[in-house]
Structure 1
Amino acid sequence: MENVNILYYFTIYGILGWCLEVAYAAVNTGTFVNRGFLNGPICPIYGIGAVLIIDFLTPFKNNLILLFVTSIFITSLLEYMTGFILEKIFNNKWWDYSKYPFNIKGYICLKFSLAWGIACVLVMRIIHPLVENFIEFIPQFIGAFFLLCTAVLFVIDSIATIDTVLKLNFRLKRIHEISDKIKQKSDTIGKNISDDTIELKRKYEYQSAEFRKKYDDFSEDIIELKETYKKLTDRRNPLHRRLIKAFPNIKSNKYFEALNELKRNAAKK
């Protein structure tokens, strides 16, 4: 496989994969969702998967059973590795098939593995010959310009997306820390109220200024923390919102409740 063809296949199938994801989301949600890890209209996992399938399975494209079985293995391995690596790097599980039977750690499941197998057979038998013919008709200069532009945009988009995910994780960390502080303050107030009430009951001094001042200070701290918490959870960052909508089953390994709060806010109109 020529290097230039690899770039063509990666780009074309990455774009087609994005279109497929958007159509799938539209059927399930009734609205447009910009699917994919990146912001632009390309899903790299589809591009990589297509290149691997074309490279390894072209010799077997006339053997339907072998093509189908091998496609399931390659696409499932790629999906598992992608999910595993993304989770280890960003501490977020971007999709989760745990609710489906015959899944492996939620990264892959039998239902979608079979679907990928069927899709790959269609690609090898029907779609790829059309793509090859399309590439042959592209003038060399126009093709080189197209690949250069898409490569530059892909790199920029990748950097921007990584920055977005890192900022999202930092935001989740801040929400988690503030939530913990609110809980600690509340627990402290509760314990002090309990202890002081018992003590005041003995002394019959429920209206003492010292009693009121102590809890007024605590209340001010909690009010300030709650205001900061509300600002962090209510802030409408469009890039964070897009990622959460693109991966509705995303789970954070460290900040589960904080992410759920952002997901609830993202679901609001």
Structure 2
Amino acid sequence: MGTPPEPLNQVCRCYIYAVHGYFLEKIFAAMVGEGSPFQRAGSLGSFLVYGLCGLTLERVYLGLRSECCLLTRCILYILSIYSWEFGTGGLLSCFGACPWDYGDYSYNLKGLIALEYFLFWFVGSLLLEKLVICNTLRLLLAEEWKAKKKPLPRFELTDD
């Protein structure tokens, strides 16, 4: 037989979280009517932000799943999301590249986060834990799908 299946590595999980975040952003934009959902193209930076935030929330989940109730974890997820959004938004703003501006909202912090989205983040973090993180952590990579090492061809100079 072969070796037992292995869990996905961090890069694969980061990719899953990035794709999930990107499409949720587009669905949310369509729901709240912010123009065409695919009008603004995503960037490599947004994929990186979503993927790394997903890995961060995965760590929160793994560390607290047996210690805290679901409500407490969701509150911690929201605080993590707001911190992540504020930090990455502030960093991107230094380069004039922050794609969001919540300056028109009543309860915003420097235009980088809007407290009005608390309920959306709550529902989103609940769904993220129950549907995305739990299922992503269950994915296994079987041996058949691993790249098999093939010997490199040998090139030798011979006399003709």
TM-score, normalising length: structure 1: 0.45
Aligned to 2:12: 8
Given that 1:97 and 1:106 are in contact with CA atoms closer than 8 Å, whether structure 2 keeps it comes out as yes
CA RMSD of aligned residues (A): 2.9
SS at match of 1:98: coil
Determine the C-alpha separation between the residues in 2 that align with 1:75 and 1:105: 16
Aligned to 1:121: 126
Compute the displacement of 1:57 (Å).
2.7
The structural deviation recorded for 1:20 is: 1.4
Q: Does 1:139 align with 2:146?
A: no
- Is the contact between residue 101 and residue 111 of structure 2 (CA under 8 Å) also seen in structure 1? yes
Structure 2 letter corresponding to 1:79: E
Q: Unaligned stretches of 5+ in structure 1?
A: 146-269
- 1:97 matched to 2:102: yes
Structure whose alpha-carbon radius of gyration is higher: 1
Per the TM alignment, residue 75 of structure 1 is displaced from its structure 2 partner at its CA by 0.6
CA change 1:26–1:102 in 2 (3 A) is: closer
Q: Give the residue type in structure 1 aligned to 2:129.
A: M
Partner Cα distance (2:60, 2:30) in 1: 32
Greater RCO (CA < 8 Å, at least 6 residues apart):
2
Counterpart Cα distance in 2 of 1:33 and 1:141: 40
Structure 1 counterpart SS, 2:44:
coil
Residue pairs, 1:18-167, within 5 angstroms: 18-27=22-31, 28=33, 29-30=35-36, 32-38=38-44, 43-61=47-65, 63-88=69-94, 90-133=95-138, 135-136=139-140, 138-140=141-143, 142=145
1:110-164 C-alpha deviation (Å, 9 max, x unpaired): 122442232122221233222233x21x33564669xxxxxxxxxxxxxxxxxxx
Return the offset for 1:65. 2.0
> For the structure 1 residues 63 and 56, does the alpha-carbon distance in structure 2 shift closer, same or farther, using more than 3 Å as the test?
same
Q: Equivalences for 1:174-253 in 2 at 5 Å?
A: none
Structure with the largest fraction of helix = 1
Q: Deviations over 1:14-36 (max 9, x none)?
A: 01111112223344224633542
C-alpha distance in structure 2 between counterparts of 1:130 and 1:55, whole Å: 14
**Residues 141 and 18 from structure 1, CA distance in 2 versus in 1: closer, same or farther, beyond 3 angstroms?**
farther
Q: Give the distance between the partners of 1:139 and 1:69, measured in 2 at CA.
A: 35
Are 2:14 and 2:54, in contact at CA under 8 Å, matched by a contact in 1?
yes
Query: How much identity, in percent, do the aligned residues show?
Result: 24
| 1:72–1:116 contact (8 Å) kept in structure 2 | yes
Q: What are the Cα deviations for residues 191-236 of structure 1, in whole angstroms up to 9, with x where unaligned? A: xxxxxxxxxxxxxxxxxxxxxxxxxxxxxxxxxxxxxxxxxxxxxx
For this pair of structures, how many residues does the alignment match?
Answer: 139
